[in-house]
Amino acid sequence: MSIRPQRARVLVVGCRRTPSVKHGTPPASSRCPLEVYVHYVHDVNPRDFPVSIGIMAGRNLLGAAATLAVAATLANAATVPLARAYAHNDQEKPGTPLEAALANGFCHIEPDINLQDGEIVIGHDCGPLDPPCNVTLRAAYLEPLAAAYVQNGGFVHPLANKLKICQTVTLNLDVKTSAGSTYEAIHDLLATFDAAYPGFLTTFALDQVVSEGAVRVLISGNRPSPEEIAAQERRYAALDGRILENLDEPWTHAVVGWLSQSWSSIFDSTEVPFSNATCEHIQDIARTAHARGQLIRFWAIPQEPDFWSELIRCDCDIINGDDYDLLTSYLLNA
């Protein structure tokens, strides 16, 4: 009896049919009538896919490359999800955005975003005096994450459900442009993905979680107030709040999902081991946040395993990672 080799399933979103693919249910889209292609291969290789996927209506080649790169990463490796790992400034890392973060098993991913000519684009500096940012949030992050969600049976990471780790990935959008107009554009964009992929995004109503999805979006940087989003009857994001602003406020994780702060705005020293006072302060913050279902995070921290160990010892939930390989190695061997 012959045994068929296991095949990787890769989802490619495009606007043309080709005879080499099996097509499934088309998701809704406001940009073009999309068809979803599922291509079965032994070894995922972009050359196996039609060149036409790079010429999608309203999309650029990088969007297709991002979807393929993430699909290939997830299909060819069963990466252990890392519940504490946070990909800081992910769009600045070498290669395709999102690919390295998922390949390392990161459960929390932060791209910088801007509202530019009505589109949400990724990049730290996209202002009038800077070069334009040409890669959209849709193409670089949302479409590849949605592809992974379909590919992995409702989860971004292939092992998330089996290991009960990182069943919801956090996409923390660090907004660099005006809070109000950028949030409105994010809301409209996320609404199209919620319609196309039910269960993909965590959804909220007023100050409650309606359903937990495979991806929970947070708004960081320039963000609306808790009062503003808590008044929305349906939304697709919560806030990455600030320890110094929101710790003593009554908002639950459905409104302010996390409490984050730069290390130096609270603490004077990065010396390890932490003093008793430093550790107790972190634990007090964590205790208050955890009572409301919130997680805590510090940014602008040393990229050193000894420092990370102290954060974990003192009950910090999320470890900001700039060096992905180092943080992955540390968490897998801690």
Residues 6+ apart with CB under 8 A from 55: 61
DSSP character at residue 81: P
The DSSP code sequence of 122-168 is: E-S--STTSPPP--BHIIIIIHHHHHHHHHTTS-SSTTHHHHTS-SS
Question: pLDDT tens, 3-32?
Answer: 333 333 333 333 332 333 322 333 333 333
User: Would you state the structure tokens that stand for residue 20, as one six-digit string?
Assistant: 């080499």
Asked if the model's pLDDT at residue 179 lies above 90, the reply is yes
- How many angstroms separate the CA atoms of 212 and 290, rounded? 18
Per-residue confidence band for 65, with pLDDT thresholds at 50, 70 and 90:
low
For residue 48, pLDDT beyond 50? no
Which residues on neighbouring strands pair with residue 295, listed in sequence order?
258
Structure-block tokens of residue 2? 């012959």
pLDDT at 126: 83
- Residue 131's CB is within 10 A of a number of other CB atoms, namely 9
User: Within 13 A of 6's CA, how many CA atoms are on the CB side?
Assistant: 3
The yes-or-no verdict on residue 282 having pLDDT over 60 is yes
Residue 263 near residue 270 (C-beta atoms within 8 A): yes
- Percent pLDDT > 90 in the chain is 72
Q: Tokens representing 144?
A: 């590849």
User: CA-CA distance, 235 to 233, in Å (whole number)?
Assistant: 7
10 Å Cβ neighbour count for 70?
Answer: 28
The predicted model gives 147-176 an average pLDDT of 97
Q: What is the enclosing helix (H) or strand (E) of 119?
A: strand 119-122
Question: What is the average per-residue pLDDT within 88-107?
Answer: 95
Question: What are the Cα distances from residue 271, in Å, to 262, 275, 278, 320, 327?
Answer: 16, 8, 10, 17, 19
